[in-house]
Structure 1
Amino acid sequence: MRYLLFLFMLIVGDLAGQGITISFDHADSIARLYPDHSLVQMKALADKLTSPLTTETEKFRAIYMWVCLNIETNYDLYVKVKSKRSRHREDPRALSYWNKKHRSLLMRTLLSTNQTICTGYSYLIRELALMADIPCEVVDGYSRNTRIGIRGTAIPNHSWNAVQLNDQWYLCDATWSSGIIESSTGKFIPRYNDAWFLADPQVFLRDHFPSDTIWLLTKQHPTLDQFLGR
């Protein structure tokens, strides 16, 4: 209910600011027109997704939906990355160096296979949004869900996005929106979940904590220790 109210407030704000009606059905239908579009031609994809639409919110919705429908989580890659990061948990400088080196390989894998992990999702969302002149940032931080508990650890393990629409910042997580990992096999199951699209920051905070607390987007700023349950 809080999520629906939050989206309602977003739509009302857009109506007041631009005097037009938002149709996510229209944006979603456009996203479904290009299931086989190559990511090598990323600018062309961004133009196709956004040029038929008028509002920033619709344009970003089309980008977000395309990514969620066409990119898959590679669980084996996630396990490898998690292991590598754990090795550098006591050396922030080494971890930062490894992250930068790994990022380029991750993006090449994404471009060639349409498979990735959270880093790839968030960077792809950002690049497509920027190509459509929509301000967007990658947010690194900590997350937890039924498969990934982080109690007692302080290693950043997730990435998501902050996007500016109509002069206001919102949060979204395309990795979690795109589908789930089957616990018994590690297989990715496409299953779109709208709950992580422009989510209420208070709801988002239940499972996400940014390394830079500016991206909490909440009035009160809990500490990382509070989030970790220490």
Structure 2
Amino acid sequence: MNKHQSIILIFLFFIGFLSNAQSDFTEIDNRVANIGLSHKDELAKKITSGFNTDLEKVRAIFVWITDNISYDFELYESEKLQKEFYVSENNVIDMTLERKKAICSGYSILFKKLCDDIKIECKIINGYSKQWLDSFVSKKVSDHAWNVVKIDEKWFLVDATWASKNEYSKERDEFWFMTKPEHFVYSHFPENENWTLLKNGMTKEEFDLLPAITDGSFFEDEIKILIPHEKVIIVDTTRIIKVELQTKNTERWITLRGYPWETYATKNNLEFPSNDEYSKLSDEEKNKYSLLIPSVEIIKKEIVGNKIIIEARLTSENIKEFDIVIEGNSIATIKVNLK
């Protein structure tokens, strides 16, 4: 077994409980829900008033930010706006609170500011992120920012950006509050490797080998991918693949989803008609251009004890990768090379 295989086995297939050092924060969350905006230098005290421990105060800050600051897509896409914003950290904080929107740097700067104001040690961590769309991209330049915060002499990871409510998600994603380092590293890698907070560390090259996993349910159900063993597999001419999972919840809906998606037209190199031509087609003819053809066909699925075993056939010669999907969420992406 080579070094890369060992890394994947250790980090991908030996996953324990999701216990992010979290408690029941219902009372804190409910109190913070009623706190409005105030001057930046008074905000931290206002948010944390009445809370005693550092954990309670950090939780209050996290909840206030993720409830009140949404993702700023306009800023993300505009270099002009970014030049106006990023004059200084103070200006970033002012603009974030004024607009009630931010990108990752704004979230992390504000989070640190509020922790600093109540004497809780916090740092901004710049690094590399990956989600399923860029799972196989080895980034050369860091593209994300998050925080580490010290509570009771121990550092914890927090990503207020990915946790925040937004136009696509009305619920806070609790997975990103005090996330376990061995889970966080499936999607975040710091410029300074020490801030992975992993006991045995990890290199950027090792991080690039891991699949992108951003769904906490993967860890909640103690899912282990037993087969395939690697993130890139070679498929022989039978086009048969096997996926074997171990999980404590075998009742979850699990399927495989291949990419790229295809239609009859794309498979047969048909030129897409003009809008006028398309409108005159029969429903059957329209389906040739609009109806998606699965590129992975599940032949057999069986449950044996705490294992789910799936046998499937790749039905497209253009398939590049497939996702292992649980309850509609991709938890791992496997790249395929066809013989």
TM-score bracket, normalised by the shorter chain, equals 0.7 to 0.9
Q: Post-superposition shift, 1:106? A: 3.8
1:47 aligns with 2:45: yes
- Give the distance between the partners of 2:202 and 2:115, measured in 1 at CA: 29
Moved more, 197-206 or 43-52: 43-52
- Residue type of the alignment partner of 1:163: V
1:202 aligns with 2:182: yes
Alpha carbons of structure 1 residues 149 and 109: separation in structure 2 relative to 1, 3 Å? farther
2:173 to 186, 190, 193: 193
1:37 aligns with 2:37: yes
SS of the aligned residue for 1:214 comes to helix
- Give the distance between the partners of 2:96 and 2:133, measured in 1 at CA: 23
- Give the distance between the partners of 1:109 and 1:203, measured in 2 at CA: 32
- Give the distance between the partners of 2:92 and 2:42, measured in 1 at CA: 22
- Residue type of the alignment partner of 2:63: M
- Residue type of the alignment partner of 2:40: M
Q: Post-superposition shift, 1:179? A: 3.2
- Residue type of the alignment partner of 1:32: A
- Residue type of the alignment partner of 1:37: L
Tell me the TM-score normalized by structure 1.
0.74
Query: Which residue of the partner structure matches residue 249 of structure 2?
Result: none
1:227 aligns with 2:198: no
1:111 aligns with 2:111: no
Would you say the 8 A contact 2:157–2:177 is kept in 1? Answer: yes
Query: Which residue of the partner structure matches residue 305 of structure 2?
Result: none
Tell me the TM-score normalized by structure 2.
0.52
- Give the distance between the partners of 1:141 and 1:53, measured in 2 at CA: 32
SS of the aligned residue for 2:78 comes to helix
- Give the distance between the partners of 1:161 and 1:218, measured in 2 at CA: 15
Query: Which residue of the partner structure matches residue 125 of structure 1?
Result: 111
Q: What does residue range 52-91 of structure 1 map to in structure 2 within 5 Å? A: 52-80=50-78
Query: Which residue of the partner structure matches residue 2 of structure 1?
Result: 17
- Residue type of the alignment partner of 1:219: K
Alpha carbons of structure 1 residues 104 and 60: separation in structure 2 relative to 1, 3 Å? closer
Q: Post-superposition shift, 1:152? A: 2.7
Percent identical residues: 29
Structure 1 residue runs of 5 or longer lacking an equivalent are 12-22, 85-96, 181-186
1:179 aligns with 2:175: no
- Residue type of the alignment partner of 2:17: R
Would you say the 8 A contact 2:20–2:177 is kept in 1? Answer: no
- Give the distance between the partners of 2:45 and 2:206, measured in 1 at CA: 42
- Residue type of the alignment partner of 2:174: D
Aligned pair count? 193
Alpha carbons of structure 1 residues 159 and 102: separation in structure 2 relative to 1, 3 Å? same
Query: Which residue of the partner structure matches residue 302 of structure 2?
Result: none
Q: Post-superposition shift, 1:42? A: 2.0
Structure number with bigger Rg: 2
- Give the distance between the partners of 1:176 and 1:65, measured in 2 at CA: 13
Which structure exhibits the higher relative contact order, with contacts defined as CA atoms closer than 8 Å and separated by 6 or more residues?
Answer: 1
- Give the distance between the partners of 1:148 and 1:101, measured in 2 at CA: 30
Q: Which of structure 1's runs of 4+ aligned residues deviate more than 6 A? A: none
Would you say the 8 A contact 1:122–1:161 is kept in 2? Answer: yes
